[in-house]
């Protein structure tokens, strides 16, 4: 691939900005500088306020008319965890043994650098149409002030793309073995059952909230949500937290607690909607504990970009570079594709994700270069089909 951007060097510059959500730490300024030098018009968009914001976002565009293709991704990263678990400084962007090591190397600053490298080659070709980058700083966090309000801004400014590729690390074992064409939805619920503490020897004088919470969880877990379908694995409900006395615990062995709480998460396929699952959770909780406190948040709905011309185009670009025929999948967690899909067809393709969110997160230098070549191949097919 030809072009004036070294994706590894740019990825290093981005990793050296410790952009742990919601901080930007200069990452988007690095990106803006690279894109401005290529001739992109860059808009810096800040949304929200404390505690989850403000969030820095970036929209960059070049060209006009159709087709309008967009790359989408995020510059924010998860915390490093225990620094002692790392063999290098997480934000030094160290290169060792043919790999770039650092927080965000895998998820997903290397992919953003590959976007820019492909964009440089695209600009050099003088292609018709419009190319854009939609970059948020709030994908790893609550996602309240990132891609969702950016899409509203795009709509208001008549800048909605025709197609979008998200650069999440979708490959499983080797670069090119998997493309994501959809995702399951996600819903979280926080359940707090209120009781009255008392001596365990006199249960008639107390109200043990644990008893009712256990009944709620047993009823929720007893339901088989579905068996999956041709594109989605079965939906699953998991209990992700349990606590009594508001998280303070109960050091006494002879006393029942005053409150008992649990958090659950459901990853659901397109047999369900978030609203229907929320209604079921509320009914189940009310049946066993009518006065319980209940908070529910739907993080995203299940969606599928029906396999067809777009996924085939991306797959062809992957095969040209890697020789692999990628599997089309809906596995894994949520991504910002869940927001983008309401405006245009969206698929996801990026690096192998084995090290994302781990200590010594890393990406192969060869994979970064190959990813830039794949993204360039996607642009060639979109703009010169």
| pLDDT in the model for residue 2 | 39
How many Å apart are CA 155 and CA 172, to the nearest integer? 34
Query: What average pLDDT does the segment 80-96 reach?
Result: 98
Q: Is 301 annotated as contributing to ligand binding?
A: no
Q: Which one is catalytic: 56, 76, 336, 348?
A: 76
pLDDT band at residue 385 under the 50/70/90 scheme = confident
In a domain, 33, yes or no: yes
CA–CA separation, 365 and 50 (whole Å): 38
In a domain, 336, yes or no: yes
What is the average pLDDT score of the chain? 97
* Lowest mean pLDDT segment, chosen from 311-315, 333-337, 369-373: 333-337
Pairing of strands 327-329, 178-180: parallel
* 234 and 370 housed in the same domain: no
- 306 carries a ligand binding annotation: no
Asked if residue 210 has pLDDT above 60, the reply is yes
Residue 1 lies in a domain: no
Same domain, yes or no: 218 and 283: yes
Are 279 and 327 part of one and the same domain? no
Is residue 60 within 8 A of residue 42, CB to CB? The reply is: yes
Longest dimension (CA), the chain: 81
User: Which tokens belong to 287?
Assistant: 């049946």
Residue 204 placed within a domain: yes
- Nearest Cα to 330, choosing from 352, 303, 357? 303
CB 197 within 8 A of CB 188: no
Whether residues 173 and 63 fall in one domain? yes
Q: Which of 130, 136, 76, 139 is nearest to 104 (CA)?
A: 76
Residues 330 and 257 in one domain: no
Residue 236 in this model has a pLDDT that exceeds 50: yes
Looking at the structure, tell me whether residues 119 and 138 fall in a common domain.
Answer: yes
Residue 99 lies in a domain: yes
CATH number at residue 267: 3.30.70.360
Residue 139 a catalytic site member: yes
CA distances from 368 to 103, 150, 363 (A): 15, 27, 7
Torsion angle defined by CA atoms of residues 58, 64, 66 and 67, in that order, rounded to the nearest 10 degrees: -40
pLDDT of residue 356: 97
pLDDT in tens, 32-78: 999 999 999 999 999 999 999 999 999 999 999 999 999 999 999 99
Among residues 5, 41, 30, the alpha carbon closest in space to that of 122 is found at: 5
Q: Which of 243, 277, 300 is the last residue of a domain?
A: 300
Regarding whether 245 and 165 lie in a shared domain, the answer is no
160 and 239, same domain (yes or no):
no
By residue count, the chain amounts to 385
- Indicate whether 291 and 332 sit together in one domain: no
In the predicted structure, residue 335 carries a pLDDT above the cut 80 = yes
Domain span including residue 310: 7-183+303-383
Q: How far apart are CA 130 and CA 133, in angstroms?
A: 10
User: Same domain for 199 and 308?
Assistant: no
- Mean pLDDT confidence for 12-31: 98
Catalytic one of 139, 270, 348, 376: 139
Distance CA(285)–CA(193), nearest Å, equals: 9
Domain boundary among 273, 300, 327: 300
Range 81-103 average pLDDT? 98
- The annotation status of 357 as a binding-site residue, yes or no, is yes
Contact 66, 159 (CB under 8 A): no
**Domain identity same for 321 and 285:** no
Per-residue pLDDT at 1 exceeds 50: no
Note the pLDDT tens digit of each residue in 118-153. Answer: 999 999 999 899 999 999 999 999 999 999 999 999
Nearest Cα residue to 212 out of 312, 294, 276: 294
3-state secondary structure string across the chain: CCCCCCHHHHHHHHHCCCCECCCCCCHHHHHHHHHHHCCCEEEEEEECCCCCCCEEEEEEEEECCCCEEEEEEECCECCCCCHHHCCCCCCCCEEECCEEECCCCCCCHHHHHHHHHHHHHHHHHCCCCEEEEEEECCCCCCCCCCHHHHHHHHHHCCCCCCEEEECCCCECCCCCCEEECEECEEEEEEEEEECECEECCCHHHCECHHHHHHHHHHHHHHCCCCCCCCCCCCCEEEEEEEEEHHHCCCCCCCEECCEEEEEEEEEECCCCCHHHHHHHHHHHHHHHCCCCEEEEEEEECCEECCCCHHHHHHHHHHHHHHCCCCEEECCCCCCCHHHHCCCCCEEECCCECCCCCCCCCEEEHHHHHHHHHHHHHHHHHHHCC
Q: For 42, phi and psi rounded to 5 degrees?
A: -110, 130
Neighbours of 212 (CB within 10 A): 22
Q: Is 323 exposed, middle or buried (0-12, 13-18, 19+ CB in 10 A)?
A: exposed
> How far is Cα 236 from Cα 228, in angstroms, rounded to an integer?
10
When divided into structural domains, the chain yields a total of 2
Rounded Cα gap, residues 118 and 377, in angstroms: 8
**HSE-CB for 175 with a 13 A CA cutoff:** 23
Q: Are residues 165 and 236 in the same domain?
A: no
Last residue of a domain, which of 300, 329, 361?
Answer: 300
Mean pLDDT, rounded, for 301-313: 97
pLDDT at 3 over 60: no
């Amino acid at each position: 691939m030809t072009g004036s951007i070294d994706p590894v060097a740019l990825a290093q510059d981005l990793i050296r900005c410790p952009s742990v959500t919601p901080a930007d730490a200069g990452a988007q300024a690095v990106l803006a500088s690279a894109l401005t030098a290529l001739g992109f018009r860059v808009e810096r968009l800040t949304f929200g306020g404390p505690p989850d914001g403000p969030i820095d976002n970036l929209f960059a565009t070049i060209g006009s008319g159709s087709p309008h293709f967009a790359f989408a991704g995020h510059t924010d990263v998860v915390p490093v965890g225990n620094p002692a678990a790392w063999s290098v400084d997480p934000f030094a962007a160290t290169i060792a043994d043919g790999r770039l090591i650092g927080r965000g190397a895998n998820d997903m600053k290397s992919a953003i650098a590959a976007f820019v490298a492909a964009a440089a080659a695209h600009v050099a070709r003088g292609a018709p149409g419009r190319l854009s980058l939609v970059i948020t700083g709030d994908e790893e966090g609550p996602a309240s002030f990132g891609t969702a309000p950016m899409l509203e801004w795009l709509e208001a400014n008549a800048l909605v793309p025709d197609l979008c590729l998200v650069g999440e690390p979708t490959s499983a074992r080797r670069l090119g073995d998997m493309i994501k064409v959809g995702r399951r939805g996600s819903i979280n619920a926080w359940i707090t059952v209120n009781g009255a503490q008392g001596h365990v020897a006199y249960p008639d004088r107390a109200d043990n909230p644990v008893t009712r919470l256990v009944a709620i969880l047993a009823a929720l877990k007893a339901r088989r949500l579905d068996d999956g379908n041709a594109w989605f694995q079965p939906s699953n409900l998991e209990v992700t937290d349990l606590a009594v006395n508001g998280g303070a615990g109960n050091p006494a062995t002879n006393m029942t607690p005053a409150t008992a709480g649990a958090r659950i998460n459901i990853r659901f396929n397109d047999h369900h909607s978030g609203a229907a699952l929320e209604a079921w959770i509320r009914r189940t909780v009310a049946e066993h504990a009518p006065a319980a406190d209940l908070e529910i948040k739907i993080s995203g709905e299940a969606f599928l970009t029906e396999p067809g011309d777009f996924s085939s185009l991306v797959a062809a670009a992957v095969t040209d570079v890697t020789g692999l025929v990628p599997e089309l999948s809906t596995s894994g967690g949520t991504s910002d594709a869940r927001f983008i899909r309401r405006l245009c067809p969206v698929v996801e393709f990026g690096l192998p994700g084995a090290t994302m969110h781990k200590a010594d997160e890393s990406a192969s230098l060869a994979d970064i270069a190959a990813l830039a070549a794949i993204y360039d191949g996607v642009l060639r097919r979109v703009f010169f089909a």
